[in-house]
A and B are shown apart, each in its own frame.
Chain A
Amino acid sequence: MNEDETSTGRCGRSAGSSRPPPVVAVGGTLQDDARQIDGNTEAMSEPTTTPLAEPGASIGAPAPDDDRRLKRILYILVAVTAVLFAVFAVVYYLGQRVDAAPSIPDQAVVKAEAAVKDAPNDIAARLQLANVYAQFGRPDDALSQFNEILKAQPKNRAALLGVGAMLSQKGDLAGAKSNYEAFIKTSGKGEFSAADPQLEQAYYFLGVTNLGLSDVPGAVKALESALVIDKTDADAWFSLGEAQSRAGDYKTAAEAYTTALTFIPSGWCDPYAGLQTAYSKLGDKDGVTFAKGMESICKGSGSDGVQELTGLSKGKYQLPALLGLGLAAEHDGNSSQAIEYYTKAAQLDPTNVAARTALARLGAASAAPSASASPAPSGSAS
């Protein structure tokens, strides 16, 4: 028998009795209490049914009136609590409620849509709307606008690139590829093709798309074309590393990852992970240690990274390891330790820009040896 059964049973018995019902069943629920309180209120309106005292009760036993008073107090307290809570909730809600201003995307969309509505044949306005949709995560709407532009101007460069990007975002890699190829066909031999940033983008995205389609040779070719236009595109170097790694050319992959890291040396962990794989396949244990250490530092596990890099006290990874150790010390706020590492790195290679820049940043430019000094024979991997 559970507690509810107990209370129900007792209430049931008392209902048919001439004795007043027990006030609250032992172990009863709050609902039971409420029912009891209601029942008791009715009882109070019929004074003749209230006995003076229970037969057999001692002289000092509490009278049922006391229970009623307590119940009434409880009832009032519950009501006051509920009302106070409700008032507090309303006041709090009204006080904390903020009608947020329209977001930048919403404002931009409203403005661009109004411009297209005003001039439906204005390609520039429609392109602006398509780009706004694309920028703020509405690929279907963007695609629709780009396609509208292509109906009027089948060779519109921005629309071709935009359709490729949107299809890629929606997972239609084959469709994206054909658009990038169409763009390249249109612009690949133009007067400014050797320095065309949009063409470089098209090659880069075609390379990444080919990689997604497992067309590794196509990816390598496209990414190399992108790098012919812009040799400083770190993303293209990284993707080339990924492509070469999948092609099994780990030496070229390692070089590509290293070049990518030359442009973005910290805060970008993926190339270090790629380097680990490449060095591992090449059987370069020191290289793996270096890449692993740098990845640890990059991901915030500075102590693990320092442990790895400290072991590289000689060989071709000594210099990059010193730079990595300096970076880790700098990030830990240990400037003197950082200066020590950077100074050693500058002594190994007096022309090393990273070491000299770091020393200058730490106010220790004088610690760097003259750039005309001969580098130490241990060489450099960076």
Chain B
Amino acid sequence: MTTDSLVPPPAPSTEPGAPAPMPKSRRRLIILIVIVAVILALIAGLFAWYLRTGKPITQIPILDAPIPPAYSTSIYDVQQPLGVAFDEQNDRLYVSQSSGDQSVLVFNSAGQPQGKLTPVTPKKKNHVPVYIAIDPTNSDVYVTDRAAAAIYVYDAAGNFVKEFKPNGIAKWAPLGITFDKNGDLYVTDVTDPHQSVVMLKTDGTVVRRMGESDGLSFPNGIAVRDDLSVFVTDSNNGRVMVYKSDGSSAGALPRGQGETALGLPRGAVFDDRGRFLVVDTVNDTVNVYKPDDATLATFSYSFGEEGQNDGQFLFPNGIATDTQGRVFVTDRQNNRVQVWSYR
């Protein structure tokens, strides 16, 4: 290189009082400082968000990539579990077991046993607890009992409170159960000939029935979206029925083929990001639908497959989520509750 090739620097201004041009080196320093400051702010923001939510970084609100959750661990020592519900406030995971002593087992979110719920009723009465819902207003636990055709209520401490009875309904067969964000209760009633979904107040007042004329066949899971649309897995018809907040029908999620197939949909839930998750018991998968559709939902991806290894299911049934990106699925024939995470 010769010195001729160097470009001489511009001559400094000799005019008194004129601002001197900023040297390139300083400009570069300032740019670097700004860049590092921005990175620092991003990391600090991310850190603060993580400390506040406890969610994995894949759940940052601005990210909307359809990334399936990954298998995390399992909770064993449950016998043919069916329903599952998570009480965020008290860090309680409730799991109904259809075999063994047919009770509802209570764990903390780390999977450590905390106790069990057993109804106080005459001994002759048979019990098979199925689905579980947590009252968002007081953390009471509602458990549907298929064999007893009843709903049992426990308080957050695990004490049996009462049998929930709907006003004006003499005979019913409650199966699926959930609460909406306002504390109203939804129950699937599989009493023939018109199986339906009943919306109730917790004092037993019946608000409305839905789906009586839709030919529902063993509607199982119920999930209520933030806009109070009601999604019901119509299990034996292999579809998900959707009802608007006024109880009118909004249509159905189609049965699909291949990956989107719904063979025997059962447990269903909306997570805190609005994703709709449906357990397909006979396909041994969980289907996940996008939350962004105006009325219904669009298939996004599924996870799980048949088997006994980690991340494989044998007749999964119930599903629950928490606000830390975890998904709990009862894996009935493998006698465990699988924990998946969006990490």
Contacts and interface: CB of A to CB of B under 8 A. Distances in A.
B43 interface: yes
Contacts of A302: 257
Given A84-B44, A103-B309, A331-B257, A26 B20 contact: no
Contacts of A73: 33
Contacts of A103: 74, 309-310
Contacts of B74: 100-101, 103
Interface in A97-128: 98-101, 103-105, 107
A57 B29 contact: no
A4 interface: no
A333 B25 contact: no
A361 B217 CA distance: 9
Interface string B15-28: 01111101111101
Nearest to A266: B257
Contacts of A298: 257-258
A88 to B, nearest CB: 5
Contacts of A104: 308-310, 334, 336
B253 interface: yes
Interface in A56-113: 56-62, 66-67, 70-71, 73-74, 77-78, 80-81, 84-85, 87-88, 91-92, 95-96, 98-101, 103-105, 107
A54 B18 CA distance: 17
B67 interface: no
Contacts, number: 143
A243 interface: no
Contacts of B309: 103-105, 136
Given A62-B22, A300-B260, A88 B76 contact: no
B37 A361 contact: no
B20 A60 contact: yes
Contact of A70 (B26, B37, B72): B26
Interface residues of B, number: 63
A60 B17 contact: yes
Nearest to A297: B257
Contacts of A59: 16-17
A362 interface: yes
A300 B259 CA distance: 8
Nearest to A36: B25
Most buried by B among A91, A98, A107, A298: A98
Interface string B304-317: 00001110000000
Interface in B214-231: 215, 217
Contacts of A26: 24-25, 28
A330 interface: yes
Contact of A58 (B18, B25, B46): B18
B137 interface: no
A33 interface: yes
A267 B25 contact: no
B255 A330 contact: yes
A84 B33 contact: no
Most buried by B among A58, A73, A105, A298: A58
A328 B39 CA distance: 52
A1 B251 CA distance: 69
Nearest to B73: A100
A98 B72 CA distance: 7
A302 B308 CA distance: 32
B89 interface: no
Interface in B185-220: 215, 217
A7 to B, nearest CB: 11
Interface in B1-53: 1, 12-14, 16-20, 22-26, 28-30, 32-33, 36-37, 39-40, 43-44, 46-47, 50-51
Given A60-B17, A77-B40, A92-B50, 17 more contacts: A60-B19, A60-B20, A70-B33, A84-B40, A88-B50, A95-B50, A96-B56, A98-B339, A101-B73, A104-B334, A136-B308, A298-B257, A300-B256, A328-B257, A331-B261, A334-B254, A361-B217
Across chains A and B, which 10 residue pairs bring their CB atoms closest together, nearest first? A333-B254, A363-B215, A300-B258, A24-B25, A61-B20, A100-B73, A300-B257, A77-B36, A81-B40, A331-B255
17 contacts: A9-B1, A25-B25, A26-B28, A30-B32, A60-B17, A60-B18, A61-B12, A62-B26, A74-B29, A77-B40, A95-B50, A100-B74, A101-B74, A101-B75, A300-B258, A328-B257, A332-B254
Interface of A: 1, 9, 22-26, 30, 33, 56-62, 66-67, 70-71, 73-74, 77-78, 80-81, 84-85, 87-88, 91-92, 95-96, 98-101, 103-105, 107, 135-136, 267, 297-300, 302, 328, 330-334, 361-363
